[in-house]
């Protein structure tokens, strides 16, 4: 029971830290994070993971097989994913407080464009770039560098890494299916 209380306390500290460092109006209880995965434009897929009060909610994770995007264009892929995701908001009770995108300013701009054209434009959005762990927010010139060792930085990295893991896992599965399908057809 003590460990559970410690985890809840750490999750609360992390969310408050994210609120403060990203200058949000309230603590982001539901955070969705998106990532695109492919190898040179083949088997393009994407993932969405959901963290509810600092903990993964795997029942809400989603995988996306890209249908309309250009092969080697992450921006196009993210626009497609966001368009599809926003359509689903109509049927949901709780919307995310923060939508995170794995990537830099380009990825943020692509997704913000879709979000801003929707009736859900009040949802906060940010991107996180791996190189320097920079956070980009719409209409802000400078990136935010989260405090090293902070609860918020740790949680955002964990969420981003989980979205990446989930996307790569799906990409490998899809690529494997495609590879074995070709092998079987070649034998015939």
pLDDT at 179 over 50: no
DSSP state string for the chain: -HHHHHHHHHHHHHHHHHHHHTT-SS--SEEEEEEEEEETTEEEEEEEEEEETTEE-GGG-EEEE-SSS-TT-HHHHHHHHHHHHHHHGGG-SS--SEEEEES-HHHHHHHHHHHHTSTTTTSEEEEEETTTTEEE-TT-SS-EEPPTT-HHHHHHHHHHHHHHHHHHHHHHHHHHHHHHHHHHHHH-
pLDDT at 4 over 80: no
For the stretch 66-110, pLDDT in tens is 876 656 788 988 999 999 999 999 888 899 999 999 999 999 999
For the stretch 27-56, pLDDT in tens is 999 999 999 886 655 567 889 999 999 999
pTM over 0.85? The answer is: yes
pLDDT band at residue 182 using 50, 70 and 90 as cut-offs: very low
Average pLDDT over all residues of the chain: 86
């Amino acid at each position: 029971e003590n460990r559970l209380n410690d985890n809840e306390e750490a999750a609360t500290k992390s969310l408050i830290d994210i609120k403060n460092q990203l200058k949000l109006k309230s603590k982001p209880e539901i955070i969705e994070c998106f990532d695109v995965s492919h190898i040179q434009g083949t088997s393009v897929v994407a993932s969405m993971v959901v963290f509810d009060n600092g903990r993964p909610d795997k029942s809400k994770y989603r995988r996306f097989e890209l249908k309309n995007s250009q092969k080697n264009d992450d921006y196009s892929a993210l626009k497609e994913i966001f368009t599809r995701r926003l359509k689903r908001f109509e049927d949901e009770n709780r919307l995310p407080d923060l939508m995170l995108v794995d990537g830099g300013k380009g990825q943020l701009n692509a997704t913000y464009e879709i979000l801003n054209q929707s009736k859900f434009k009040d949802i906060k959005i940010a991107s996180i770039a791996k190189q320097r762990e920079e956070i980009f927010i719409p209409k802000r010139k400078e990136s935010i560098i989260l405090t090293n060792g902070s609860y918020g930085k740790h949680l955002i990295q964990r969420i981003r890494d989980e979205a990446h893991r989930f996307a790569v896992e799906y990409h490998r599965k899809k690529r494997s299916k495609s590879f074995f399908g070709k092998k079987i057809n070649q034998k015939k």
